[in-house]
């Protein structure tokens, strides 16, 4: 009875800690990809049918533009959220806190069961529960999880993590079950959990292999014996790879992922050796935590060799430890296995992301907790022997409990500080820019977001810095770098134009065209400014280049027509107005063409255009013109009757 009460209090403490730490940010706005995942995702707006080809795909068939594409179970969970709470971010994040709590409970149970295995020869039998709770408590409050919990799109990581641990825990119950019926039930549940994880995120792919390594390390001592003993389990888990293969037959679902993006495989792999040590550093000292990490690519062996040497040394040590069936070796493989998709396959623009440590930390934290307890116990025993006293195990446990509470409080404070960055998207990117002032993406996004809020003078400084810092395409063939430099110059030109600094804006538009000579929108914007500066010849040239790049660019046709009409070149203007109307039927395009027809005596052709323009009037400005159009139409009809 007393044990059950302690267990209940510990569970409530764990849940309360999670909610108290993260609840202040639960009502924050959606950020970044949340727009595509939730707000602009029509497939989550109905729960049934699960797959609907007649409408927008259904919750199990998200659109290609959504980050949940290829992750149907997460999309279904989003649909359930939308059904009960619409677009209120609070409900989505409450679900995240619950999922995180459930994963922490699984970790608690998994660590406790592992420490009681014969592998440890009874060393931790009496303290398995407290050590497991300490592991779950520290892991749950680790600040590195902030992005995963508050960035709603990362439900992919949360749900995958829950099913990853569930797969291993249910496999452990399968091995421990004595009755055939129970073994069959746990086999089915483990296979279902593994398959569910695969439908949430591709990083689940390593789960079957990690279950096999767990059994070999802690239970059988041999891969052969493990396969012979548990082959039904591994067949069930292996079948979970089938949906991953089917979902990715047409290529990677994550935008920007894959080779052929201007970055060689070796450049990515060299860089990821450095990233691996960043992840290990964040596991121990999680500060600063950033939405984006600016990590220069290691492009040659001459600069990457220190990281390669360090990573190679770790790899050799891991192989030796795995060969010796060391728990440390298992943890090392776990970390690399979960991270392996992003360590191996390039994801240009996101070299590192703290959310990727969600499940790797579930192995690292228990290892550090148990190792800390073991070292403290040895030290306590040594001190007791020197003092001529009998060592008391409770002393080590009490000290560890105090240290765990202090660590949990520290993590809670760090997380609380980091929550301020999640007030909105601007504060998130400003936080990145404050810690990484040489990050061009951070400067670009801060400048863009400031411009959207009308803070143009501040925006200009950040966008200028982004344009300065962005890699030159001549030096960097990475497609993402070219896009970032293009956006920096283009956005800077727009802000300068809105600020009335037209000469500077023209200079930035020209810089943009050096990067993308066939960009129709830039040619159009540059033409407008040149026309306002009375450089008619250059304006006409850029309007025509905009049309050459996009023949259906209605605004470019229309503006070119107005320019030509002002220059007295009415026949050419009529051709442009006709092209504009073919591309887009609007009141303005109808009126432009009707006016041009009237100027050359083609009034009968103008009348139907004026009639159509009245039907197309929708906006307040257009509706205000209807009186003048009706008067013009009446005059033309009167003239036609007289004739």
What is the arithmetic mean of pLDDT over 317-341?
A: 95
Half-sphere exposure of 397 (CA within 13 A, CB side): 13
pLDDT band at 546 (very low <50, low <70, confident <90, very high): very high
| CA-closest candidate to residue 473, choices 512, 529, 518 | 512
Q: In whole angstroms, give the CA distance from residue 438 to residue 444.
A: 11
pLDDT at position 389 is 62
Q: How does pLDDT run across 446-463, given as a tens digit for each residue?
A: 999 999 999 999 999 999
Q: In whole angstroms, give the CA distance from residue 70 to residue 47.
A: 18
pLDDT at 393 over 60: no
Q: In whole angstroms, give the CA distance from residue 403 to residue 395.
A: 12
pLDDT band at 641 (very low <50, low <70, confident <90, very high): low
pLDDT at 643 over 60: no
**Ordered alpha helix ranges (H), 324-359:** 327-344
Q: In whole angstroms, give the CA distance from residue 124 to residue 381.
A: 16
pLDDT at 252 over 70: no
Q: How does pLDDT run across 626-636, given as a tens digit for each residue?
A: 888 888 888 88
Q: In whole angstroms, give the CA distance from residue 562 to residue 560.
A: 5
Which residue is listed with tokens 């192995």?
363
> Among residues of the chain, what percentage have pLDDT more than 90?
63
Note the Cα 233 to chain centre separation in Å. 33
Question: If you count them, how many residues does the chain have?
Answer: 643
pLDDT band at 205 (very low <50, low <70, confident <90, very high): very high
Measured between alpha carbons, how far is residue 536 from residues 134, 176, 192, 563 in Å?
73, 83, 68, 8
- Are 191 and 237 within 8 A, CB to CB? yes
Which residue is listed with tokens 């039930």?
185
Q: In whole angstroms, give the CA distance from residue 302 to residue 529.
A: 48
> Among residues of the chain, what percentage have pLDDT more than 70?
93
Q: In whole angstroms, give the CA distance from residue 550 to residue 520.
A: 6
pLDDT at position 373 is 87
Pseudo-torsion of CA 586, 592, 598, 601, nearest 10°? -100
Half-sphere exposure of 327 (CA within 13 A, CB side): 17
What is the arithmetic mean of pLDDT over 369-378?
A: 86
- 3-state SS assignment for residue 48: coil
Q: How does pLDDT run across 9-47, given as a tens digit for each residue?
A: 999 999 999 999 999 999 999 998 999 999 989 989 888
Which of these ranges, 47-61, 328-342, 560-574, has the smallest mean pLDDT? 47-61
Q: How does pLDDT run across 154-194, given as a tens digit for each residue?
A: 999 999 999 999 999 999 999 999 899 999 999 999 999 99
What is the arithmetic mean of pLDDT over 112-136?
A: 92
By the 10 Å C-beta count (0-12 exposed, 13-18 middle, 19+ buried), 304 is classed as: buried
Q: In whole angstroms, give the CA distance from residue 362 to residue 108.
A: 10
Which of these ranges, 103-112, 260-269, 331-340, 475-484, has the smallest mean pLDDT? 475-484
pLDDT band at 607 (very low <50, low <70, confident <90, very high): confident
Q: In whole angstroms, give the CA distance from residue 153 to residue 521.
A: 31
Contacts of 207 (CB under 8 A, 6+ apart): 163, 164, 167, 168, 194, 197, 237, 240
| CA-closest candidate to residue 357, choices 145, 207, 206 | 145
Q: How does pLDDT run across 89-108, given as a tens digit for each residue?
A: 999 999 999 999 999 999 99
pLDDT at 278 over 70: yes
pLDDT at 392 over 90: no
pLDDT at position 631 is 85
Q: In whole angstroms, give the CA distance from residue 180 to residue 453.
A: 65
Which of these ranges, 56-60, 198-202, 218-222, 336-340, has the smallest mean pLDDT? 56-60
- Are 515 and 473 within 8 A, CB to CB? yes
Q: In whole angstroms, give the CA distance from residue 518 to residue 327.
A: 58
In the DSSP assignment, the letter for residue 608 is H
Measured between alpha carbons, how far is residue 562 from residues 506, 536, 567, 613 in Å?
21, 12, 9, 18
Q: In whole angstroms, give the CA distance from residue 107 to residue 207.
A: 15
Task: Please report the sign of the dihedral spanned by the C-alpha atoms of residue 518, residue 521, residue 527, residue 529.
Answer: negative
């Amino acid at each position: 009875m007393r044990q059950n009460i302690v267990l209940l209090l510990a569970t409530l403490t764990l849940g309360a800690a999670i909610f108290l730490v993260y609840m202040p940010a639960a009502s924050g706005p959606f950020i970044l990809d949340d727009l595509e995942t939730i707000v602009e995702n029509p497939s989550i707006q109905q729960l049934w049918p699960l797959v609907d080809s007649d409408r927008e795909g259904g919750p199990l068939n998200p659109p290609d533009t959504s980050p949940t594409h290829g992750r149907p179970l997460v999309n279904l969970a989003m649909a359930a959220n939308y059904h009960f709470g619409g677009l209120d971010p609070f409900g989505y994040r409450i679900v995240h806190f619950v999922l995180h709590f459930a994963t922490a409970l699984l970790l608690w149970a998994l660590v406790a069961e592992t420490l009681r295995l014969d592998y440890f020869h009874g060393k931790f039998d009496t303290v398995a529960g407290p050590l497991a709770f300490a592991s779950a408590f520290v892991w749950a409050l680790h600040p590195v999880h902030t992005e995963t919990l508050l960035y709603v799109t990362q439900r992919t990581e949360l749900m995958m993590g829950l099913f990853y641990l569930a797969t291993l825990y249910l496999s452990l119950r399968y091995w421990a079950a004595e009755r055939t019926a129970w073994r069959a039930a746990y086999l089915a549940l483990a296979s279902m959990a593994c398959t569910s994880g695969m439908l949430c995120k591709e990083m689940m792919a390593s789960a079957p292999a990690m279950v096999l390594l767990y059994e070999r390390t802690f239970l059988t001592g041999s891969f052969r014996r493990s396969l012979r003993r548990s082959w039904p389990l591994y067949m069930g888990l292996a079948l979970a790879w089938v949906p991953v293969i089917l979902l990715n037959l047409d290529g990677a679902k994550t935008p920007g992922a894959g080779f052929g993006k201007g970055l060689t495989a070796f450049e990515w792999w060299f860089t990821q050796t450095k990233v691996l040590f960043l992840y290990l550093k964040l596991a121990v000292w999680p500060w600063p935590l950033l939405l984006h990490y600016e990590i220069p690519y290691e492009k040659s062996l001459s600069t990457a060799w220190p990281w390669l040497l360090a990573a190679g040394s770790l790899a050799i040590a891991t192989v030796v430890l795995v060969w010796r069936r060391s728990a440390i070796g298992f943890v090392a493989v776990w970390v690399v296995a979960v991270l392996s998709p992003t360590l191996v396959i390039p994801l240009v623009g996101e070299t590192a992301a703290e959310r990727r440590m969600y499940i790797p930390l579930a192995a690292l934290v228990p290892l550090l907790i148990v190792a800390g307890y073991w070292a403290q116990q040895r030290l306590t025993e040594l001190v007791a022997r020197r003092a001529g006293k009998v060592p008391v195990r409770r002393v080590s446990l009490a000290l560890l409990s105090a240290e765990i509470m202090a660590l949990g409080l520290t993590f809670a404070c760090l997380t609380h500080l980091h929550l301020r960055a999640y007030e909105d998207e601007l504060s998130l990117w400003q936080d990145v820019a404050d810690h990484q002032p040489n990050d061009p993406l951070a400067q670009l996004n801060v400048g863009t977001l400031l411009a959207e809020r009308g803070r143009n003078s501040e925006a200009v400084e950040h966008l200028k810095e982004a344009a300065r810092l962005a890699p030159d395409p001549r030096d960097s063939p990475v497609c993402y770098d070219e896009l970032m430099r293009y956006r920096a110059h283009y956005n800077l030109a727009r802000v300068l134009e809105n600020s009335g600094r037209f000469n500077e804006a023209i200079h930035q538009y020209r810089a943009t065209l050096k990067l993308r000579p066939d960009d129709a929108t830039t040619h159009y914007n540059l033409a407008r400014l040149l026309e306002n500066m009375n450089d008619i010849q250059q304006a006409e040239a850029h309007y025509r280049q905009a049309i050459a790049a996009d023949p259906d660019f209605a605004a470019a046709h229309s503006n070119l027509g107005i320019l030509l009409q002002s220059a007295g070149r009415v026949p050419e203007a009529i051709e442009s107005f006709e092209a504009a109307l073919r591309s887009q039927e609007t009141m303005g395009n109808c009126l432009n063409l009707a006016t041009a027809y009237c100027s050359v005596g083609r009034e009968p052709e103008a009348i139907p255009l004026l009639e159509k323009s009245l039907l197309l009037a929708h906006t307040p400005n257009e509706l205000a013109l209807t009186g003048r159009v009706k008067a013009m139409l009446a005059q033309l009809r009167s003239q036609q009757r007289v004739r």
